[in-house]
Amino acid sequence: MGLGEISELCYRITESYLQLPNRTDIITETKDAIRLTREYLLDDIFTRWSPINGQISFSYNGGKDCQVLLLLYLSCLWEFFYINGKTSQFDYEYQKFPMKLLPTVFIDQDATFITLEKFISETSQRYSLSLYESRREVSKNQNMADSFRDFLKIYPETEAIVIGIRHTDPYGESLKPIQKTDSNWPEFIRLQPLLHWKLASIWSFLLFSNEPICGLYGVGFTSIGSMESTVPNPYLSKKGNDVLPLQFEWEINNAFGKEKEGETKTVHVSNLEESDQEWLATVTDSDYYPGWYLIDDSIERAGRIKKG
């Protein structure tokens, strides 16, 4: 699949979600959240910064939030060019999608789970990303701002970077969808069209999309940092907690494309690498519910431990 095809697929996924009946409050809220993100991208962002010529880059680390935003971003790219294509004098089918790869940046700072590294590389292929990956031996000794400074030296045409941060993330509360970086950062525009999303909507859309998601979420992770600073979310431990209800059974059973595939109603999680399984056994002796059993934003990061 090239960038045009995967963007069209993301468009179809998004449209299908928007057509869902309002079965639950979560679905209703998620549809509103999608519409607002779509408005930011189509009306405020693509009209000011061209998605084609490298003015916009996408910050991607394989996490669930940036994956949701990536699906919506690609969906909007398709819509933007499809609508533009339709209004041009030539038939759309004779035109080519104007981009081959999506400029993307990943700052590789710390020892990361191999499962996540592989997921980033697999999804780079799947979503046709042109991924700039910082060198870990350099990035680990510097802060994020300096890593982005290095990135901008190599890609000086970058004016704006898409970021999958939400209001409920640390320091996310007062952010705006479009804003300049702080004075201690290299200068670029932060594009943050996912700020208003709640955790429940992230899971609802991602599970419905039927897209592969990082295998760590399948074993109790709800937010993924470095190996030194992340464990499965203790609220999802099967030891000492009540039985947890699954809120997304409908999304999983009716996920996009499932009726055609006739496949078993499971979630597509990427393979959990053996070294990560071994590591898990050293940090916990419990089993965990998958990450999508947690929908309370306030404890989403309970598995992210501060470095001492």
Catalog residues that contact ligand ATP under the rule CB under 6 A. Answer: 59-61, 63-66, 105-107, 163-165, 169, 223-224
Distance CA 201, CA 114 (A): 27
- Least distance to ligand ATP, CB of residue 21, Å: 28
Q: Which residue is nearest to ligand ATP (CB)?
A: 63
Sort residue 272 into left (φ over 0), alpha (ψ -120 to 50) or beta: beta
Task: Indicate the residue among 42 and 302 with the shorter CB distance to ligand ATP.
Answer: 302
Task: Indicate the residue among 173 and 259 with the shorter CB distance to ligand ATP.
Answer: 173
CB atoms within 10 A of CB 185: 15
- Least distance to ligand ATP, CB of residue 157, Å: 18
- Least distance to ligand ATP, CB of residue 119, Å: 11
Contact 207, 292 (CB under 8 A): yes
Task: Indicate the residue among 98 and 172 with the shorter CB distance to ligand ATP.
Answer: 172
Task: Indicate the residue among 107 and 236 with the shorter CB distance to ligand ATP.
Answer: 107
Nearest to 120 by CA among 195, 169, 58, 72: 58
Exposure of 42 by Cβ count < 10 A (0-12 exposed, 13-18 middle, 19+ buried)?
Answer: middle
Task: Indicate the residue among 4 and 69 with the shorter CB distance to ligand ATP.
Answer: 69
- Least distance to ligand ATP, CB of residue 153, Å: 17
Residue 240 amino acid letter? G
Sort residue 248 into left (φ over 0), alpha (ψ -120 to 50) or beta: alpha
Task: Indicate the residue among 18 and 144 with the shorter CB distance to ligand ATP.
Answer: 144
- Least distance to ligand ATP, CB of residue 82, Å: 25
- Least distance to ligand ATP, CB of residue 69, Å: 6
Contact 255, 210 (CB under 8 A): yes
Number of residues assigned to the chain:
308
